[in-house]
Structure 1
C-alpha cells in the first residue's frame, strides 16, 4: 500500500464516489464501504493536534518517550524517564486509577532502554536494561500519577495479553541466546547475555515486591508476539511473529488450573504444546494466506499438530518442530473475547510470492472458537484496501474489536464489528509509524501507543462503531 492510494480513497469518499465505483470487485460491500468512508470525515483532533478522530472524540498524551520520570517502584526513587519503543499494553482498574502494564520493544539500540531494577531483572547481562515493562498509573481524568519498572532485563517485549486474574503476559519477540554479545547504543559498551531469550513473562500491575521476573518455560521458546489464557484456565494460546510462524496451543497437565505466578507453577516440560493446522474442505492449508474473501464468516476446523520435542529450541527453532501446521510470516496480536467463548487474532500482510498458493492481501482478522475448535475469517483487507497490516488487537466492552495498524503511513486505530466492518477510530496525522497496545480501562477509555512517541488516552462515543 502507498500513501498516494490512501489519499485517493480519502478524496474519493469526500467527493461522494460510490463504493461500486471505487472497488467493484468487493465480495462483501460492508468491508469496503466503511473502510473507504473512514479515510475522510475525522474532524476531531487530539490536544497535540497529531491525531484525527470522529466527531465527539478527545485524546491527550499521558506519557512521552524520554520525558516523564520513571521510578524504581511505586513511590520509589527516580531511575530514568519513559522508555522507548512503546508496544503491547493491558489496562487494570483500581480505586480511582487505571494501571497500564506497557511493553517496551527495546533492543540494544534503544534510545531509552528500560533500566535494570532489583526485583524486576530477568537477565542482568542485558546492556543498560534493553526491554521490559513499565507500570503506568493514570487518573480517571487521564493524568499520569506515577510510573515504575515492572520487568527488566528482557529483549523486544512486543505484544502479549491479559490473564483472567488480572496480570499481563509480556512476550519476547526474539530468540537471542546466552553467551551472545550485544553492544549498547547508550554507552557503546559490549555486554554478554547471561540467559536465553524468547519467552513469555507474567507482569503484575503492582509494586516491585509482587513481580516474578521468571520465564514461563513450559510454553516454549520462540519469536513470541501474543499470549492468552483459555477460558478453562488450563490452556494458553500463543502467536509467533516471524517467517513460518505458527499459532500454538498449550494444554496443562491433567488436574492443573493456572493461577497467578504461572512461571513458579510449571516445570519447563509440563503440559502439551501443539500448533494449529487449518483445514478447508478436508484439505490442510499450508499457509493462512490461502484464505480469501470467499472464506469470510465460514468456520473451518482446526487440527492440533503434536511436536515441540525440543521445546526450549536448543537445536531447532520451535516452529520447525510441527510438520503440517499452517504457517504465516506475521501472526500478530491475540485477545480473548468478553464471553469466554473464543479469541481474536490478527494476520498481517501477505506479500506477493510469499507462498505458491497464498493470495497477497493486506491483512486478516480471525476468530477461534474454544468449543468448536474452528477458525473463522472475520475481516479481509484485500490488496488495494484502505487499511493494511493489522497488528495488536483488543476487545471493546461492546464486543467489537480495536486493531492497531502497523502498515503504510498514516496508520490508524481501526474499529471492527461484524455488522459494520472496518472504520477508523484514530488516524496519526504526524505519520510517526505504528500504533500499538490498544486496551480499554478507566470507565471505557481507550489507551493506545504510538510506538515511536507516546501513550494516548482516547474517549468518545465508541459504542456506535464497536457494537457486535
Structure 2
C-alpha cells in the first residue's frame, strides 16, 4: 500500500475511533484540507514579485549586503528565523543569519507608522543560526543548527550582551517556543530521527538552569497521549541527546515551533506535517499532513510557522511553491502569498507586528539563489481580526 493511502487509512481510522462512532468524513476533517482562502485568490505578482490577495501590499525591508534604509547596518546573509517585539508605540523585527562562523542575529527597528528608525547586530560569532523563539520576558532565543549547537538568549534592543544557554541542550537546534501557561520552553531538532524537547527552568524567566526532557512514545503515533523523560546529559557528549532515552519519539526533520492558546504547533519537513501538542492533556495530533490531502496538497516543504491573534496558522515553505500557506481554525489550508522567480530559495522568519497588521518574512537566498541574495519583506493589508 502506498504511504499516502496507508496513512489515510491509519490516521482516519484512528480518528474515527476517537470520535466514538462519528462518520469517517467528520474524522477526516480533523486534518486540514484544501479550500477557499478567507482572503480570496492570489493576484498577479506585484513589483516585488509577490503574489498577494486583493487589498494587500508588500515592501522590501532589507537586502543582504546592502545598508538597511536610513541606517549604517548592512543586512546579514541568509536571513532565517525571526520575531517581533513591542518597542513603545513601535516594534523591532529580529532575524537570524544561517551562515557558519559569523551567524548571529540582526534587528530592524520601526516607529508607530512603520518607518525604519534603526538597524543593528545583537549577536555575532555563532554558527548557522536557523530559527528560535521569543520569550514572554522580551528576549529572542537564537538556535544553532549544527551538531552540538547551542541556544543563545539575545536582547532585541542590543543593549545587553547575548548569553549562551547550555541547559537547553546541545544538539542540532531548529526552533523553540515559550509556554508561559505551563512553564516550559519547547524545542525542535532538525534531523531525520530528531526529537521534540521541553525545558523547565528552575525559575521561570531565568534560563541558566533547569530540566531538559524529551517526548516519549511510539514512532508511528500521530494522535494520542505521549510521555516525557529527562535527558540525562544535555551537553550531548559523547552520546547525543536524541539517543540518550531509548523510548524517545522520533520526528522527521523538526522545523518551526509556536505556542499559543494552550497548544504548541510544530512542523516536520521530512514528511510535510504540522503537529499540535496540548500540554494540558499531554497529547499530540496532526493538524496537517500532505499525504492526507484530497487532491494536490497546497502546502509542501513545511517549515517555519507562526500564528495570528485570530487563530490562523501561517506556514512558510522551504521550496515547494515558495508560498506562505494559511491553515484556518476551521481546518482550511490555502496559499496566502507566493514569491515568484525564486525557486532556489526558501521562505523564513514569518512574524506579525504586535498589532497584527504587518507580516514580516524573508526569502533566504532571493533571486540570486545563494546566501548573499537574501531579501526581507513586509506585507500589510486587511488581516483578519
2:134 equivalent in structure 1: 162
The equivalences for 1:128-143 within 5 A come to 130-143=102-115
CA shift in 2, pair 1:322/1:41, >3 Å: same
Q: Distance in 2 between matches of 1:398 and 1:304?
A: 30
Within a 5 Å distance, the mapping from 1:347-426 to structure 2 comes to 347-350=268-271, 363-382=272-291, 384-408=296-320, 410-426=321-337
Q: What are the within-5 Å matches in structure 2 for residues 64-463 of structure 1?
A: 64-69=63-68, 78=72, 81-107=74-100, 126=101, 130-175=102-147, 198-207=149-158, 209-211=159-161, 213-232=162-181, 234-253=183-202, 256-259=203-206, 262=207, 266=208, 270-278=209-217, 285-287=218-220, 291=222, 300-306=224-230, 308-337=231-260, 339=261, 341-350=262-271, 363-382=272-291, 384-408=296-320, 410-432=321-343, 433-441=345-353, 443-444=355-356, 445-452=358-365, 453-463=374-384
Question: Which residue number corresponds to residue 56 of structure 2?
Answer: 57
For residues 50-97 of structure 1, the C-alpha deviation after alignment (integer angstroms, 9 at most, x for no partner) is 1101111111111111111599xxx8xx4x611111100010122342
- Cross-structure match for 1:21: none
Counterpart-to-counterpart distance in 1, 2:243 and 2:377: 39
The 1:305–1:61 alpha-carbon spacing in structure 2 relative to 1, beyond 3 Å, is same
**Equivalent pair of 1:334/1:343 in contact (CA under 8 Å):** yes
1:382 aligned counterpart, secondary structure: helix
1:393-452 Cα offsets, whole Å, 9 max, x none, are 1110111111111133x3101111131421111101122421111111153211111111
The alignment's TM-score, normalised by the length of structure 2, stands at 0.83
Contact conserved, 2:30 with 2:331, CA < 8 A, in 1?
A: no
CA contact (8 A) 2:33 2:331 kept: no
Aligned to 1:33: 34
1:43 counterpart = 2:43 = yes
- Deviation at residue 386 of structure 1 after TM alignment: 2.6
Count of residue pairs brought into register by the alignment: 347
* Cα deviation, residue 44, structure 1: 5.5
Tell me by how many angstroms 1:229 deviates. 2.2
Q: CA deviation at 1:147?
A: 0.8
> CA contact under 8 A between 1:103 and 1:132: conserved in structure 2?
yes
Aligned alpha-carbon RMSD (Å): 2.7
Q: Where does structure 2 lack aligned partners over 5 or more consecutive residues?
A: 1-26, 366-373
CA distance in structure 2 between the partners assigned to 1:462 and 1:216 by the alignment: 36
* Residues 460 and 30 of structure 1, relative CA distance in 2, 3 Å threshold: farther
| Alpha-carbon distance in structure 2 between the residues aligned to 1:373 and 1:430 | 42
- 1:236 Cα shift? 1.7
Contact kept? 1:286, 1:324, Cα under 8 Å: no
Q: How far has the Cα of 1:374 moved from its partner?
A: 1.1
Distance 1:329 1:321 in 2: 18
Task: Output the CA distance in 2 between the equivalents of 1:29 and 1:210.
Answer: 45
SS at match of 1:367: strand
- Kept in 2, the 8 Å contact 1:394–1:402? The answer is yes
Asked if structure 1 preserves the Cα contact closer than 8 Å seen for 2:52 and 2:338, the reply is yes
- How far off its partner does 1:304 sit? 0.7
> In 2, are the aligned partners of 1:412 and 1:428 still within 8 Å (CA)?
yes
Q: How far 1:233 moved relative to its partner?
A: 6.5
Bigger radius of gyration, 1 or 2?
Answer: 1
Call closer, same or farther: CA 1:41–1:400 in 2, change over 3 Å.
Answer: closer
CA distance in 2, matches of 1:430, 1:141: 30
CA deviation profile, 1:271-322 (whole Å, cap 9, x unmatched): 32221124xxxxxx225xx64xxxxxx5x1111123x333212211111112
